[in-house]
Each structure stands twice: as C-alpha cells, then as structure tokens.
Amino acid sequence: MRILVTGGAGFIGSHIVDRLMQAGHDVICLDNFFTGHKRNIQHWFGNPNFELIRHDITEPIRLEVDQIYHLACPASPVHYQYNPVKTIKTNVMGTLNMLGLAKRIKARFLLASTSEVYGDPEVHPQPEDYRGNVNTIGIRSCYDEGKRVAETLAFDYHRQNGVDIRVARIFNTYGPRMLENDGRVVSNFVGQALRGIPLTVYGDGSQTRSFCFVDDLVEGLIRLMNGDCIGPVNLGNPGEYTILQLAQTVQQMVNPGAELQYEPLPQDDPKRRQPDITRAQTHLGWQPTVPLEVGLTKMVEDFKQRLQIEQRLSLE
Ligand code: NAD
Ligand code: UDP
Ligand code: UDP
C-alpha cells in the first residue's frame, strides 16, 4: 500500500514510518519540521519506497495514497503554547485539508487525537463515552479544543461524505526520539537525571499520568487502522503513577544522587489521567506489553547517545 504519515518526522510519526517501511509499504512522510527532525527518518533516505515532503498541512496538498495516518500537530505544552493560534490552525485547517484529501482519493484516514479531549476528568479511569471537562479559554485550549474539533470534523466527513475514518485517543506516550527539551515529564526527568541536575516536579507531584511505551502505541495504531472499529478508541497504558513516583523511579534508575526540585503547577494541569482500554482490548485485541522500567531503559539509552553526540560537538 501507499501510505501517508503526516507529522512523520516527529516522535510517534517516525516510529510509525519505521513499522510501515519494515512491512514493505510505500511511505510518504509529510512534515514542516516544527518539532520533527530529519534525523528521525534519515535512515530511510535513499530507499525507493520512502519519500519525504516538507509541507505545512494548513495549506492544501494533492497526493495519491491508500491510507493516511494524521499526526501532524505539536504535542507538548511548551510547543503547542509557543504559537497557540498556529496550533488551532494546524488542528482545524490542517485536519480539514487532510480530510478533504482523504475524501477526494477515498483513502482511509486515522486521526491521532488525545486523552486531552477529556480535559481535567471528573470520571476515572476515562472511557471513550466520557465527554470531558475542558476549559475553552485556558492556555491548553488551543490543543484540547483543537483536537475536539478535529474529531468532530472526522465524524462529519464520515457521516456527510462517507470518508473511512479511524479515531485514536492517545494517552501520554514516551520512548526514544522524544525531544530532550520539549518539556514533557518523562523526557524532562530522564534528561535532568542524566545531566545530574535536579528533577523538576510541578506542584506536589501527586497528580497522576499513565505512560505508554511508543512501540506498544504504534502497534495499537496499526491495528486500529487495519481493523473495522472506527473509534474513538483509547490507546494508552492503564498503569497509573503519580509524578513523584515517576521522578523517584527515574532517579533510582539513572542517578540516585539527583535531587528533586518542586516548581509551581501549571494552569489547568489535569489532576488524574488513566485510560479505560476495554474498547481497545475488545475490538483490537490490543493491550500494552512493555513495563515502565523496560521502556525507560530504552529511552535512557537513546538519550545517553544523543547527549554524548552533543558533548562531542561542544568539545570540537
Ligand atoms: P511531535 O511534536 O514529535 O510530532 C508532531 C510532528 O508534526 C512534528 O514532526 C512536527 O514537525 C509536525 N507538524 C506540526 N505542525 C505541523 C504542520 N502544521 N504541518 C506539518 N507538520 C507539522 O509529537 P508526537 O508526540 O509525535 O505527537 C504526534 C501526534 O500524536 C500529535 O498529533 C499529538 O497530538 C498526538 N498525541 C501524542 C501524545 C504523546 O504523548 N506523545 C499523546 C496524545 C496525542
Ligand atoms: N484538499 C486538499 N487536497 C485534496 C483535496 C482537498 O488539500 O486533494 C483541501 C481543500 O483545499 C479544502 C479542504 O481540503 O481546503 C476540504 O476539502 P473539501 O473538498 O471537503 O471542501 P471544499 O474544497 O469543497 O471546501
Ligand atoms: N511535569 C512535571 N515536571 C516536568 C514536566 C511536567 O512535574 O518537568 C508534570 C506536569 O505538570 C503534568 C505531568 O507532569 O502534571 C505530565 O506533563 P506532560 O507535559 O508530560 O503531559 P500532559 O500534562 O500533557 O499530560
């Protein structure tokens, strides 16, 4: 098959590209390199099945493919709040363009939505029929509400135009190729522990998240794309940790000497988050298999390598 991955040079997108290339598909990676990097996909350069297009999805584009994995959108608060209006344009105009493309060429379209559509949830754990508790005017709204509109667009293109859609609600995901400086908690803690600087815990660290290793997530996305269930489907790891527990785990694993430093909790920071994955288990036969310690070890190796390259460059 010929498959388009928007945001394919990013963290999750590049892992999808790897899986699709390994399966022998023709893959088009489309990215504007806002948070993505060529280094994430450069191992495919020169392969005749791989094509890279630098393009911003807020502008229309004409391509011919069978499937579209639509991931283009900054995902970490630091990046999506850098230019919130652009984040909304990417979610709304960008998703509209990709759905228009899917409609014209009759491609199957998978939207990478997010657990953030549940906002600061009053229901725990979160099933897909929970409608969420999202602030429309807060600093996270450009992302949360942007993704909610993206889901609405997908379902309206499905009902109105018969577009073949799949909607995944992705919960916090971590693994190799996360940006060291993107502000998300796992990458912050691992980077800080490796550098021997204090791990920054926001608030008292009692807020919870559930962390899914990227290989597990990609398996879920590929099953969703190729199955019959249109979704929305939660994809995440139900293991729930407080942020303090995560900090202590990383500390013990990487650098027991590293200190913890408490900093203010950002506005609208959700207090608890844990996926109910019954739907994914039932319809996709999917559940995560990689324990946190195992996934963290792989991520630490990747970060170590990148830090060594950084140190070598700074010495030259
Ligand atoms: P990422 O920032 O690494 O990847 C996003 C990619 O999209 C980047 O390569 C970026 O350059 C590209 N991009 C951004 N705006 C674009 C535009 N206007 N045109 C073209 N390309 C553009 O983030 P990620 O963690 O890989 O997330 C990928 C997708 O998964 C996002 O849609 C995100 O909302 C969703 N998601 C991620 C998580 C997570 O924990 N990582 C959780 C929920 C949902
Ligand atoms: N679009 C695109 N590539 C295509 C087909 C459509 O980028 O191959 C864009 C198109 O420019 C429009 C959006 O997708 O902005 C929605 O397209 P649709 O056909 O649904 O709506 P219309 O063009 O009629 O407004
Ligand atoms: N967080 C933290 N220290 C950091 C970065 C994040 O304590 O250095 C907290 C943050 O306040 C939130 C949780 O970790 O409660 C997850 O943050 P992240 O930005 O990774 O994801 P999201 O809030 O979007 O789930």
Please say if the pLDDT value at position 310 is more than 80: no
Q: How far is the CA of 212 from the centre of ligand 3 (A)?
A: 14
Residue 36 confidence (pLDDT)? 97
Largest Cα–Cα distance in the chain? Answer: 59
Mean pLDDT estimate for the chain = 96
Report the run of H or E that residue 85 belongs to, with start and end. helix 84-89
Residue range 254-266: average pLDDT? Answer: 95
Amino acid at 120: D
The reply to whether 143 belongs to the active site is: yes
Residue 107 Cβ contacting ligand 2 at under 6 Å = no
Residue 61 Cβ contacting ligand 2 at under 6 Å = yes
Using CA atoms, how far residue 107 sits from 85, 170, 232, 248, in Å, is 29, 22, 18, 45
Please say if the pLDDT value at position 260 is more than 90: yes
Catalytic residue among 143, 157, 174, 241: 143
The residues near 271 (Cβ < 8 Å, ≥ 6 apart) are 120, 207, 208
Other beta carbons within 10 Å of 160: 9
Residue 294 confidence (pLDDT)? 97
**What is the domain partition of the chain in residue ranges?**
1-171+211-235+269-288
Percent with pLDDT over 70 in the chain: 100
Residue 128 confidence (pLDDT)? 98
Query: Is the pTM above the cut of 0.90?
Result: yes
Residue 191 confidence (pLDDT)? 95
Report the run of H or E that residue 283 belongs to, with start and end. helix 278-284
Other beta carbons within 10 Å of 198: 15
Residue 134 confidence (pLDDT)? 94
Please say if the pLDDT value at position 295 is more than 90: yes
Please say if the pLDDT value at position 316 is more than 80: no
Mutate to test the pocket of ligand 3, among 120, 202, 242, 261 (most ligand atoms within 8 A of CB): 202
Please say if the pLDDT value at position 315 is more than 90: no
Per the CB < 8 A criterion, the answer to whether 94 and 60 are in contact is no
Residue 212 CA: nearest ligand 1 atom is 40
ipTM: 0.97
Band of residue 156 on the pLDDT scale cut at 50, 70, 90: very high
Q: Tokens representing 126?
A: 């979160």
Q: How far is the CA of 259 from the centre of ligand 1 (A)?
A: 31
* Superfamily per CATH, domain 1-171+211-235+269-288: NAD(P)-binding Rossmann-like Domain (3.40.50.720)
Report the C-alpha gap between 190 and 106 in whole angstroms. Answer: 42
Least distant ligand from the CA of 61: 2
Per the CB < 8 A criterion, the answer to whether 286 and 280 are in contact is yes
Residue 314 confidence (pLDDT)? 72
Worst-scoring range by mean pLDDT, 12-26, 50-64, 221-235, 295-309? 295-309
Residue 182 confidence (pLDDT)? 87
Residue 313 confidence (pLDDT)? 72
Alpha helices by DSSP H, 133-213: 141-161, 185-195
Least distant ligand from the CA of 115: 1
Please say if the pLDDT value at position 218 is more than 80: yes
Residue 61 CA: nearest ligand 2 atom is 7
The residues near 152 (Cβ < 8 Å, ≥ 6 apart) are none
Residue range 12-39: average pLDDT? Answer: 98
- How far the first Cα of the chain sits from its last, in Å, is 45
In this structure, the chain runs to a length of 316
Residue 268 confidence (pLDDT)? 86
Q: Name the pairing type of β-strands 108-114 and 165-170.
A: parallel
Q: How far is the CA of 73 from the centre of ligand 2 (A)?
A: 19
Question: What confidence tens digit (pLDDT) does each residue in 157-168 have?
Answer: 999 999 999 999
